[in-house]
Amino acid sequence: MNVLLVTVDSLRADRVNSRVMPATRSFADGALEFTECIANGPSTPASFPAIHASRYFASIEGLGIPPAEGDDDVRTLAETLSEAGYATAGYTDNHFASGSYHYDRGFETMYDAGGRAEAGRLKQFVQSNLEKDGALFKTIEAAYNRADALLAGATGTDSEYERAASLNDRALEWIDERSGEWFAWLHYMDVHHPYEAPDAYQRRFLDEPLSLARCRELSRKGTHHPEDVTDEEWDLIRGLYDAECAYADDQFEALLGALRERDLLEETVILFTADHGELVGEHGHAGHPPEFWESIVRVPFVLHHPDRDAAVVDGQIRLLDAAPTIADAVGRAPFDGWQGASALAVADGDVDAREYAFGDVGRRVEYGRCCARRADGWKLLRHDDGEFCFDVTESPAEEPADDRSGDVPECDELSRALDDHQERMRRLREGGSIGVAEDDRMVEEHLRDLGYME
């Protein structure tokens, strides 16, 4: 049985619907759909240790995962399948999900579009030299956006990242050359800000398509200066986000169609998921700040298995369960050090939903931002501005008036569980695996490339 893992950066679970992503909605209707999958972090660096290595981000010192040499505590899904005889290949255009952070472990072929040469280096030069603080930056922001768009035109790219269609082509070319079982991972970046879908997709959700410069201006404003975004601009940002989701939907459908034409669809286990979600105006932000609102941590998790009937599974699972689930789906034993477990056991009713889903984020905040979400929907968030507790089944918008912290016993229980989790993570960091240091200059450059820093 072949394996295909498709991860879509920044895709909210609620966008897998018949209006925005009808093909993916149809795929989910014919597969095992887990409606309560929780990301173990609000960003790519926080989520991908969970996806590829079934490890909490906070259990590893630094970013990414350790290099393969000398580390027996971490094992990736690709390594597990490679040792079982699978050919393996990965396709990504996100620095934080690339070989730079050791996610090439177990992949015979690793295509990292984010490292593709002069365009990225030139863009980094422009960003670094235009970096300014506060009001001064705002005065030159329009010029920056025009320069950014001109750079894209000069380098022949109409998108910040390599498009999903291109990654599909690369992966299918590799698949066509395989004769035995294979594992392919594709990470689509189209839905990540800046939202700059092709005009045809923008027309589905906006009165008229916006220029590349305007798309990037709105993205920068929403992520770095959200207090300045008008109601009309929030509507534009939401439309642009939905347009990117629709584009990703078409490309996922095209990939499935290509596998069907090759008579491979019914010989392939397919997991469709996302590393985290996105804010498009909720809580006064765009993008995915290091916080744990439902729009950021709820992600799609859809498993197609040729030998399993379609079903909807409402029990809570976590991205931490992705690698064990795929291994279980193809009859491979999980690695002893994986911190998640197969979600198939939840689907089959053999075990209860995961009682807790924890999320962490580091990057110079000493892992102080974190969350715990209980299977019944009670949730505790620790952000810079305090601790909040919600029953998201009753109050999914998580508005300040819905905060029950210090008011109900559920919050005390969640606080104790989160304290215990953080203490376990601290012990693991101090005694175990080491990734890329968070103060490494490469980390800051990659954060700038992805738009997290001005």
**pLDDT at residue 177 tops 80:** yes
Is there a domain that residue 418 lies in? no
CB-CB contact of 90 with 107 (8 Å):
yes
Euclidean distance between CA atoms 384 and 249, whole angstroms: 35
Which of the residue ranges 25-29, 124-128, 220-224 has the most confident prediction, judged by mean pLDDT? 25-29
* Domain interval for residue 76: 2-354
CA end-to-end span of the chain, whole Å?
A: 45
User: Tens of pLDDT along 315-360?
Assistant: 999 999 999 999 999 999 999 999 999 999 999 999 999 999 999 9
Is there a domain that residue 424 lies in? no
Helix residue spans in 316-408 (DSSP H): 322-329, 344-347
Instruction: Kindly write down the DSSP assignment for every residue of 174-216, as one continuous string.
Output: HHHT--S-EEEEEEE-TTSSS----HHHHHHHSSSPPPHHHHH
**pLDDT at residue 446 tops 80:** no
Is there a domain that residue 40 lies in? yes
Angle, helices 164-176 vs 231-261, to 10°: value is 10
- The residue ranking higher by pLDDT, 292 or 126, is 292
Helix residue spans in 58-195 (DSSP H): 77-83, 118-130, 134-154, 164-176
Rounded mean pLDDT, 374-388: 93
Is there a domain that residue 375 lies in? no
**pLDDT at residue 212 tops 70:** yes
Rounded mean pLDDT, 132-142: 47
Q: Record the pTM.
A: 0.88
**pLDDT at residue 290 tops 60:** yes
Which of the residue ranges 13-27, 97-111, 432-446 has the most confident prediction, judged by mean pLDDT? 13-27
Question: How far is the CA of 357 from the CAs of 98, 165, 176, 423, in angstroms?
Answer: 25, 33, 39, 15
- Domain count for the chain, please give it: 1
Residue 390 phi/psi, 5-degree rounding, is: -135, 150
Helix (H, G, I), strand (E, B) or coil at 91: strand
CB-CB contact of 280 with 242 (8 Å):
no
pLDDT of res. 147: 47
Q: Going edge to edge, which strands form the sheet with 87-92?
A: 109-112, 87-92, 182-188, 2-8, 268-274, 301-304, 32-34, 311-313
Euclidean distance between CA atoms 379 and 341, whole angstroms: 21
pLDDT of res. 434: 63
Is there a domain that residue 420 lies in? no
Is there a domain that residue 370 lies in? no
Contacts of 329 (CB under 8 A, 6+ apart): 1, 3, 269, 303, 305, 342, 344
CB-CB contact of 191 with 238 (8 Å):
no
Cα-based torsion angle of the residue sequence 207, 163, 45, 441 in order, rounded to the nearest 10 degrees: -110
Is there a domain that residue 175 lies in? yes
CB atoms under 10 Å from CB of 442, counted, come to 13
Percentage, residues of the chain above pLDDT 70: 84
Q: How far is CA 94 from the centre of its chain?
A: 10
Euclidean distance between CA atoms 360 and 393, whole angstroms: 22
pLDDT of res. 156: 41
pLDDT of res. 50: 97
Euclidean distance between CA atoms 340 and 324, whole angstroms: 7
Is there a domain that residue 195 lies in? yes
| CATH code of the domain containing 90 | 3.40.720.10
**pLDDT at residue 203 tops 70:** yes
CB-CB contact of 260 with 268 (8 Å):
no
